[in-house]
Amino acid sequence: MIRTITPDDASSIVNLAVAAELFPPEESGIVQQMMADYFATKADSGHACLVDEHDGQLIAVAYYEPLPATDRTWELTMIGVERSHHRHGLGTRLLQAVETDLQARGQRLLLVETSATPAFDRARAFYLSCGYDEEARVRDYYETGDDMVLFRKALTVPSIASDMH
């Protein structure tokens, strides 16, 4: 069942982010701080976090936030599925739930940043299979030799202005 997170989910999300290999264990504090900030102020400023729960366990998480100084543009900051649940369509379902939520709120664009290293080949293939376009690449973004690849998906159909009379 996909649902919005509650404060009781925070420690499980940290564990899930590590188990899904989104963050190494020594960087779990990043996710702890993300959760603390979310419940302190970020949820009220539009940030959103969905989880997929089965049999009382969180098995997938997606965190997304509006980008300042843009017109209805959002960034998918984190998405992950526990390794034992890979290849069952859960990531696709969760990403579709994010897109549906944003579309229902009239949002325009969703961006995703990921690494260009071979370790992220599956992640990049996932975004392409979900209809995202590779929009840009920033060389040496994360560190020397680790480019950032930016994916983009329009959430609304662009209107075509007709000047024909």
Predicted local distance difference test score (pLDDT) of residue 162: 43
Each residue's pLDDT tens digit, 6-61: 999 999 999 999 988 888 899 999 999 999 999 999 988 899 999 999 998 999 99
Q: Is residue 69 part of a domain?
A: yes
> What is the domain extent for residue 116?
2-154
Among 40, 55, 38, 41, CA closest to 4: 38
pTM for this prediction = 0.90
Q: Is residue 28 part of a domain?
A: yes
Among 151, 155, 152, 47, CA closest to 107: 155
How many domains in the chain?
A: 1
Question: Strands, E, within the chain: which ranges?
Answer: 2-4, 48-54, 57-66, 73-81, 109-115, 133-143, 146-154
Q: Is residue 162 part of a domain?
A: no
Among 95, 125, 97, CA closest to 111: 95
Q: Is residue 10 part of a domain?
A: yes
Backbone angles phi, psi at 145, to 5 degrees: 90, 0
Q: Is residue 137 part of a domain?
A: yes
Q: Is residue 159 part of a domain?
A: no
Calculate the alpha carbon distances from 48 to 37, 99, 155, 159 in Å: 12, 12, 16, 27
Q: Is residue 117 part of a domain?
A: yes
Each residue's pLDDT tens digit, 50-96: 999 999 899 999 999 999 999 999 999 999 999 888 888 999 999 99
Q: Is residue 132 part of a domain?
A: yes
Buried b (16+ CB within 10 A) or exposed e, 61-82: bbbbbbeeeeeebbbbebbbbb
Residue type, 46: G
CATH number at residue 115: 3.40.630.30
